[in-house]
Chains A and B, each alone.
Chain A
């Protein structure tokens, strides 16, 4: 199994809603990532988890709350989002994650959740 599975594929939510995005991999990878991608733009890193601990938070607003309950699962909890948060949210994983070394890890991406905030 070389897949990263993301659910749901599409999500529409109001600004007062609370919702969660889910990401799952069963490749034994110890690093998992959340990226945000606006239309026609490259992905932007949001969070990195390494060994179930948050390693990087790229100054993401607190209305986005990541959670890594176990090594296979990564969630992104959403609360009080703004319309400008509408984007494709991509999850990725890699075998490992090294601080202090340039990445030699191949990333495996999910197909993303297309989020619309009304």
Chain B
């Protein structure tokens, strides 16, 4: 079964803390997406990565294709980072669509 599992489901942190969100998937994929959604809002694509590591500002995403695992790190977290973070992977054979994880709700307190 094609699945995307995220952990933790909920995460609270103090401003300035280093944050890690994990994502594992069940079968081999060519690329994995990390997305951010603020409450009641649309979704922003943060990263799409197929190997190694990508960095954008305070956000870092890594992927280990052999272990079928990806992590999203936030350095020096800030209250404005509070959002739901979703990882998603393209599984559907013959279709270019995404299977989404259930998301990690992050709350960063001042």
Question: Which A residues lie at the B interface, using CB under 8 A?
Answer: 4, 6, 31, 33, 41-43, 45, 48, 56, 88, 90, 92, 94, 97-112, 114
Contact = CB atoms under 8 A, between A and B. Distances in A.
Given A42-B100, A42-B102, A99-B95, A104 B31 contact: yes
Given A43-B43, A110-B42, A114-B40, A102 B96 contact: yes
Contacts, number: 70
B7 interface: no
Contacts of B100: 42-43
A103 B94 contact: no
A59 to B, nearest CB: 14
Interface stretch (B13-21, B44-52, B56-64, B66-74): B44-52
Contacts of A112: 41-42
A111 B41 contact: yes
Of A42, A92, A104, A111, which is in contact with the most chain B CB atoms at under 10 Å from its CB?
A: A42
Q: Is the interface of A mostly helix, strand, loop or mixed?
A: loop
Interface of B: 29-31, 33, 35, 40-45, 48, 50, 86, 88, 90-91, 94-98, 100-103
A42 B103 contact: yes
A107 B86 CA distance: 13
B79 to A, nearest CB: 20
A91 to B, nearest CB: 9
B44 A109 contact: yes
Contacts of A114: 40
20 contacts: A6-B42, A45-B98, A48-B96, A90-B43, A94-B96, A99-B95, A99-B96, A100-B94, A102-B90, A102-B96, A103-B97, A106-B45, A107-B35, A107-B45, A108-B45, A109-B35, A109-B42, A109-B43, A109-B44, A111-B42
